[in-house]
Amino acid sequence: MAIMNRPFIIDGVEFQSRLIVGTGKYASFEENKRAVIASGAECVTVAVRRVNILDHASENLLDYIDPKIYKILPNTAGCYTAEEAIRTARLARSAGITNWVKLEVIGDPKTLLPDNEATLEATRVLVKEGFVVFPYVSDDPIMAKKLQDAGAAVVMPLAAPIGSGLGIRNPYNIELILEAVSIPVIVDAGVGTASDAAVAMELGCDGILMNTAIAGAQNPIQMAEAMNYGVKAGRMAYLSGRMPKKRYAQASSPIEGMIE
């Protein structure tokens, strides 16, 4: 029996694409824009940084990624404490585009693994202030449940460390998270190529966020399109309900009617 599709809705916004893409590490705004188009993504994450007042560029990322067309998801990348992340989120909101925030509180510069405790604390504060919070978190079902209870709009477990491209290292934990929470589960970080995206979607994840897998490919625009297909293929396969695995062969052709 096929599995029921659940539309991808966050804070009342329904997305057709289950892929969310980043905007880091591209050679140019133009390349970034073409990759976003090829990916089919409708939601794009951006970082919050100081304006360089000594050498202020005339062009801005948002001249290329139009907030009227794409849902912009500001992130708190680079924050190491709950306080820093909360301050960054408030500034991002005051830019007047959105009250959504991809909350990242990093615990360690070497692994870029999340500080789950600080992430939970910041989630509680930001939810109270009316933010729609997308917390980046370890692939830990207990923490995912706590984030849901704290009012997170989605949970974003990592598949592998940020920028590692190692793929889905612990599919069993991702499945446990899917069982533990009712809010959307979006795999964030670790995807390296289109098959990784398909694997995450076949597990039943609601969506995937990626940046380096696209921006770090030799041909980012073509990889963006591959990811578009990978996510769609994985989702369709999940909804189709895969065949059971067997240890021995089973012929597809009938035995009757063989020539003698």
Partner 1 sequence: MGGAMQIEVNSVKKELLLDTTLQELLTQLNIVPERVAVELNLTIINRNQFDQVLLKEGDRLEIINFVGGGRGPRRS
Point out which residues bind partner 1 (CB under 8 A): 21-26, 29, 32, 45-54, 56, 58, 60-62, 72, 74-75, 77-78, 87, 90-92, 94-97, 102, 104, 106, 109, 112, 136, 162-163, 188-189, 209-212, 215
Query: Which lies closer to partner 1 via its Cβ, residue 26 or residue 131?
Result: 26
Extract the tokens encoding 148.
């849901």
- Of residues 214, 218, 146, 212, the one with CA closest to residue 177: 146
Query: How distant, in Å, are the alpha carbons of 22, 47, 62, 214 from that of 124?
Result: 25, 21, 29, 32
Give the shortest CB-147-to-partner 1 separation in angstroms. 17
C-alpha to C-alpha distance for 222 and 230, rounded to whole angstroms: 12
Give the shortest CB-237-to-partner 1 separation in angstroms. 26
CB 185 within 8 A of CB 177: yes
Give the shortest CB-8-to-partner 1 separation in angstroms. 20
Query: Which lies closer to partner 1 via its Cβ, residue 53 or residue 243?
Result: 53
Query: Which lies closer to partner 1 via its Cβ, residue 99 or residue 237?
Result: 99
Give the shortest CB-194-to-partner 1 separation in angstroms. 17
Query: Which lies closer to partner 1 via its Cβ, residue 92 or residue 205?
Result: 92
Positions annotated as catalytic residues are 102
Extract the tokens encoding 170.
């612990």
Phi, psi values for residue 106, rounded to 5°: -85, 140
**Torsion (CA) 208, 96, 81, 166 in degrees, nearest 10:** 20
